[in-house]
């Protein structure tokens, strides 16, 4: 499940649907309040209805798959596990 969440967030960033416009405080530390704000502001819960099982994967349309396929330069396979 965690792996799926990482893939969905990465996909959202790649597709431009997730914005990390809120900057963390100075340094490398993120405050608990900032983290909780991100969890609320960036949440997609309920975006596609109560019965939805795909979540952000709904954003992968046929056009997006074609667009992604055009980016392929080699046939190299990389394991995500």
Domain-embedded: residue 48: no
| Closest-CA residue to 11 (of 47, 52, 57, 55) | 57
Domain-embedded: residue 81: no
Count structural domains, the chain. Answer: 1
Domain-embedded: residue 5: yes
Q: Per-residue pLDDT averaged across 37-54, rounded? A: 89
Asked whether 4 and 16 are in contact (CB, 8 A), the reply is: no
Q: Quick one: CA dihedral 40, 41, 44, 47, positive or negative?
A: positive
Q: Per-residue pLDDT averaged across 57-64, rounded? A: 94
Does residue 51 surpass a pLDDT of 70? yes
pTM equals 0.41
Domain-embedded: residue 26: no
Specify the pLDDT at position 46. Answer: 86
């Amino acid at each position: 499940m965690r792996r799926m969440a990482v893939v969905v967030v990465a996909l959202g960033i790649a597709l431009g649907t997730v914005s990390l416009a809120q900057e963390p405080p100075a340094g490398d530390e993120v405050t608990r309040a900032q983290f909780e704000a991100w969890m609320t502001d960036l949440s997609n819960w309920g975006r596609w209805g109560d019965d939805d099982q795909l979540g952000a994967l709904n954003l992968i349309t046929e056009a997006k798959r074609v667009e992604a396929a055009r980016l392929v330069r080699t046939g190299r396979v990389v394991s995500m596990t």
